[in-house]
Chain A
């Protein structure tokens, strides 16, 4: 699975970072950085929570 970010929707809130800090980080300019876009089986739960928890629906997972 891979993480895809819709940059038009992302506002850099960082809720994803608080749920899956290994994959997401909001940098000092307030922009979201995807640290690793591939998601392994055991990381899927946290990343899925981050995707579902995004209030602006800026994240999705692709095969």
Chain B
């Protein structure tokens, strides 16, 4: 139990309730704006509905862009090694679910490099055609099906297809893998969990993914190919091969990080392009010339990863608040990306916004999104197909996932002229 020298009283903003994270992002933004203006580093009770009861007397919520960036960069003071979500989870579960995301340098650096070599500009360029073909086939299928749920028919498909292709997951395991990857972030959502308690539901999803990862690793040890899983089973860190647990955790991390991010950015961008027709027109006028700048705005707008958590390693101060070793600090990317101190007219979707120093790929530092270039390639190809081939595509009202971690769109109807 963290004991504070000064007695803190809890902030009145309801950030630590499940009800809050079941609201829409626009509703949450009203609260974040108030916090940004008046109480940029605020003290809240532990999140209700924890997977495990939290042995802390409270958590810090950090909402301004500048503070989110400084916490993200200073990994020595704000450690990832004790978990990265705003909920306590069993230690073995956290390790199995987060791999190098839940580590600090130097171990983080060594493990991350094993995967990062598959995400370099040259490697992403090599699979550019593959991603382009996948995007084209997804839109072919959409055109065949007609009006439908955009999430199921479009957003969901590309990210996992790309990642499972990179890892070399065989076709017969993919459907199961997709469902489990979904379950990893949907555990707080009552509809998704369908009567199971959050811990059981998430544990089942985790075990499914771990098993697929370990099974694939065994297969690649026996019959190496040129995919990422083969690299992982052959890699050595400090003279030692990776264990099944480590490879399984890699697999889980890539499946989760490569799934929800691009998928929800796709849904939320499609909605934004319908809500802001002038911006859609601007983009269509010069797609190739404007898409690079526009994608930065797509990810700022969507901010699919809403929060990360760090643990304070030594007494320090942040924007006037005294933090103590052991304290939990939650950085709210969703708020930082609407910070009027940094972005002019932050609630306008502006595809020409430049500079656009958003923190949707992280606030900088060692955990900056490994897949950022892959994500941009996916979005570039997919929206080109969608906007030029699907006549008059429009989307209706989305339904959202309840989650403090991922800003998720569960379903969103779409219509177009056939």
Q: Which of B5-13, B111-119, B210-218, B334-342 contacts A (4 or more CB under 8 A)?
A: B111-119
Task: Identify the closest chain A residue to B108 (Cβ).
Answer: A11
Contact B105–A57 (Cβ < 8 Å) = no
Contact A56–B368 (Cβ < 8 Å) = yes
Q: How far is the CA of A25 from the CA of B324 in the complex (A)?
A: 41
Contact A55–B116 (Cβ < 8 Å) = no
A residues less than 8 Å from B122 (CB atoms): 14, 17, 25-26
Q: Using known A-B contacts A11-B112, A13-B370, determine if residue A26 contacts B361 with beta carbons closer than 8 Å.
A: no
Q: Select which of B109, B120, B364 is within 8 A of A55 by beta carbon.
A: B364
A residues less than 8 Å from B372 (CB atoms): 13, 15
A residues less than 8 Å from B121 (CB atoms): 14, 17-18, 21, 26
B40 lies within 8 A of chain A by Cβ: no
Q: How many residues of B contact A (CB 8 A)?
A: 22
Contact B365–A30 (Cβ < 8 Å) = no
Interface residues of A in 21-63 (CB under 8 A from B): 21, 25-26, 28-31, 55-57
A10 to chain B, nearest CB (A): 9
B377-396: CB near A (< 8 Å → 1, else 0) gives 00000000000000000000
Q: Select which of B73, B116, B361, B373 is within 8 A of A11 by beta carbon.
A: B116
Q: How far is the CA of A12 from the CA of B366 in the complex (A)?
A: 10
B142 to chain A, nearest CB (A): 30
Task: Identify the closest chain B residue to A10 (Cβ).
Answer: B109
Q: How far is the CA of A11 from the CA of B361 in the complex (A)?
A: 14
Task: Identify the closest chain B residue to A58 (Cβ).
Answer: B366
B residues less than 8 Å from A13 (CB atoms): 116, 119, 368, 370, 372
Contact B362–A55 (Cβ < 8 Å) = yes
B residues less than 8 Å from A11 (CB atoms): 109, 112-113, 116, 366, 368, 370
Contact B365–A12 (Cβ < 8 Å) = no
Contact B105–A14 (Cβ < 8 Å) = no
B residues less than 8 Å from A25 (CB atoms): 122
Task: Identify the closest chain A residue to B367 (Cβ).
Answer: A11
B62-73: CB near A (< 8 Å → 1, else 0) gives 000000000001
Q: Using A11-B109, A14-B373 as known contacts, list a sample of 8 further A-B pairs with CB atoms less than 8 Å apart, ordered by residue number in A.
A: A8-B109, A12-B116, A13-B372, A14-B122, A17-B120, A21-B121, A31-B113, A57-B364
Which A residues are within 8 Å of any B CB, using their own CB? Answer: 8-9, 11-15, 17-18, 21, 25-26, 28-31, 55-57
What are 18 A-to-B residue pairs whose CB atoms are below 8 Å?
A: A8-B105, A8-B106, A11-B113, A11-B366, A13-B368, A13-B372, A14-B119, A14-B120, A14-B121, A15-B373, A17-B121, A26-B120, A30-B117, A31-B113, A55-B362, A56-B365, A56-B368, A57-B364
Which B residues are within 8 Å of any A CB, using their own CB? Answer: 73, 105-106, 109, 112-114, 116-117, 119-122, 361-362, 364-366, 368, 370, 372-373
By Cβ-Cβ distance, the 4 closest A-B pairs, closest first, are A30-B117, A55-B368, A26-B120, A55-B364
